A and B are shown apart, each in its own frame.
Chain A
Amino acid sequence: MKLTGYELADPHQLDATFAALADPTRRAILTRLAAGEATVRELAAPFSMSQPAISKHLKVLERAGLISRGRQAQRRPCRLRAEPLRVATDWLANYRDFWEESYQRLDQLLGEVQRQQAAEIERPGGNHE
């Protein structure tokens, strides 16, 4: 597993990424942008929200580095920037791996204890047939 890069991750960048991802509308916008670039008007269409409200969300995403905006004055299409998202999800994945490894040991223990319990019940001399 690749571990370099985490040391380089800017903590403020991660704060911004996690904060930006904490909102369902912004997550939906990112999901939409994963399929390709879109204008504010196109992004606002599926939501019962005004374009200015969507623009506010886009500003948060842009500050978090999760999207970039085109420079054409009229259209300014939004584009997904995958790198900060990848750093944030990799970080979570490492935490996950740490606990998953622990929990796999717990799985083995739970299996052993249950097999022991079953063996005690079946032991000759018990009240079972």
Chain B
Amino acid sequence: MNDRLQVTTPADDEIMLTRAFDAPATLVFDAWTKPELLKCWHGARGWNLVVCEVDLRVGGAWRFVSRGPDGTEMGIRGVYREVDAPRRLVHTEYYDEQWVAGESVVTHEFVERDGGTTLVSIVRYPSREVRDLALKSPMERGLTESFARLDEVLADR
């Protein structure tokens, strides 16, 4: 099992993800902000981005629609609040279906060291209740594909 990703709850209404990548910050930042790259990786197995629009400027909107293995679509939208390539990206996040109620604020910090990049993402939810729901929801989406298949991905590497 790969232990490079850490998930913690630094505050009642927050989730923090920390992950190291073997690439310079400019590239990791691009992977988060260029639709042609985002479409290659965003989403767990079985879920892919079918709509990916990015207006990368402060006040600019973004829009993702993910399609799952059974054809279910899930839309998310938001607005960029801070764009400081390749160091920092802050945006709001709002789900169409309201399965994560209200607006969340996501702060990504890209910290480059020795040619690699550590990405620290903090998601701040409107409340602890919503945060706890969000912790649960990706699990439910993942149910459509067995987590056992994660082992295949790991074995391929």
Residues of A near any B CB (own CB < 8 A): 1, 3, 6, 11, 14-15, 18-19, 21-22, 91-111, 113-114
Q: Which of B7, B40, B143 contacts A96 (CB 8 A)?
A: B7
Residue B27 at the A interface, CB < 8 A?
yes
Q: In whole angstroms, what is the CA distance A93 to B128 when docked?
A: 18
List the A side residues contacting B134 at CB < 8 Å: 95
Cross-chain pair count, CB within 8 angstroms: 114
- With A15-B128, A101-B44, A113-B27 as contacts: A92 and B135 at CB distance below 8 Å: yes
Contact of B42 among A93, A102, A113 (CB under 8 A): A102
Chain B residues, Cβ within 8 Å of A15? 128-129, 132
Known: A97-B147, A104-B153. A110 touches B31 (CB 8 A): yes
> Any chain A CB within 8 A of the CB of B138?
yes
The one of A21, A102, A107 that contacts B21, using a Cβ cutoff of 8 Å:
A107
Query: Among the listed A95, A104, A105, which residue makes an inter-chain contact with B2, where contact means beta carbons less than 8 Å apart?
Result: A104
- Which of B12-20, B53-61, B76-84, B91-99 has 4 or more CB atoms under 8 Å from chain A? B12-20
> In the complex, which residue of chain B has the Cβ closest to the Cβ of A112?
B40
A94 to chain B, nearest CB (A): 4
* Residue of A18, A92, A93, A100 contacting most chain B CB atoms (<10 Å): A100
Residue pair A96, B41 in contact (C-beta under 8 Å): no
Chain B residues within an 8 Å CB radius of A21: 9
**Closest partner residue, chain A, to B8 (CB atom):** A92
Of all chain B residues, the one with the shortest Cβ separation from A18 is B9
Alpha-carbon distance A102/B9, docked complex (angstroms): 20
Tell me if B22 is interfacial: C-beta within 8 Å of chain A: yes
CA distance A107 to B150 in the complex (A): 14
Q: Which residues of A contact B7 (CB under 8 A)?
A: 92-93, 95-96, 99
State which of B31, B44, B147 has its C-beta within 8 Å of the C-beta of A1.
B147
Q: Are B135 and A95 in contact (CB under 8 A)?
A: yes
Residues B128 and A110 in contact, CB atoms below 8 Å apart: no
| Cross-interface CB contact of A18 among B21, B128, B136, B147, cutoff 8 Å | B128
Contact of A97 among B8, B12, B40, B142 (CB under 8 A): B142
| 24 chain-A/chain-B pairs, Cβ below 8 angstroms | A1-B146, A1-B147, A6-B139, A18-B9, A91-B136, A91-B139, A92-B9, A94-B135, A95-B15, A95-B135, A97-B150, A98-B44, A98-B138, A100-B2, A100-B4, A100-B19, A102-B43, A106-B21, A106-B31, A107-B22, A110-B23, A110-B28, A110-B31, A114-B27
